[in-house]
Homo-oligomer: A and B are copies of this chain.
Amino acid sequence: MKLDRHSSIPLYAQLRELIMERIQSGQYGPGEKIPSEMDFCKELDLSRPTVRQAISELVSDGILEIHKGKGTFIAEEVERILIPHFTALSFSFLNLNSYEDIGLRPIKLLEADKETDKLFRFPENQAHPGYWLAEWPLIFKEQVIGNCQSYIPVQIFPELGQSITVGKRMIDVKSNKYAYLPQKGSITLCSRPAKHKEASLLDIPRRSYIIACEGQLFARSGHVCEVIRVIFRPDLVCLEIN
């Protein structure tokens, strides 16, 4: 790429693209120092404000970083934790082989609520004994990177709460229930500001953006056997989708 002084694209924007190209081509690598403003002025015969504008935009894009007294550097990509093969079933509680090592919080018994009933496709206003809520954090290197909530209908698993409280093994909790275990699922993923509780669970400022997933897991029987709500810290996590 060469700068074109007759183009309708302003020179600072052309310089910005030129620097981007040099980064993408590997001429400037992550963590490396780039030439100074003066160097760019000389090399490309540009004015200082033009160079400054290009660099300041790249800084505000998070592509360059100014280290005071040292110069301008190519920002190093934050290494995110990859959640491999992410699917609707990735954070199913019922699909776990064991809940021993996940930091499971005490199981709660929740009353029916309309929003969750809708996800379970329960007919409106039909009384039922509520859901078990299994909740656990996603932790990587001692840092909370997400939070999982799993709702399981008491109707289908009447003793789940008690069984887990007394430490029954997962294989025994699930025995004779194979028709009611998740086979497939459908979740929606969006990115939105964290609510109060979510921000404190993830240890981030309120209204920070999070990745939020919510949806249904279906059993062989066709019933919704589990509803999941999973949130992730987007600055720490990336999801692999196949």
Contacts and interface: CB of A to CB of B under 8 A. Distances in A.
A146 to B, nearest CB: 12
A142 interface: no
A189 B88 contact: no
Contact of A26 (B24, B114, B187, B195): B114
Give the interface centre of A16, A113, A115 by most chain B CB atoms within 10 Å: A113
A188 B240 CA distance: 4
Contacts of A121: none
Nearest to A239: B189
Contact of A88 (B115, B237, B242): B242
A239 B63 contact: no
Given A113-B24, A113-B25, A211 B191 contact: yes
A196 interface: yes
A241 B238 contact: no
Nearest to A187: B241
Nearest to A63: B195
Contacts of A186: 240-242
Q: Of residues A21, A80, A191, A206, which shows the largest number of chain B Cβ atoms within 10 Å of its Cβ?
A: A191
A192 interface: yes
A241 B195 contact: no
Contacts of A61: 193, 195-196, 206-207
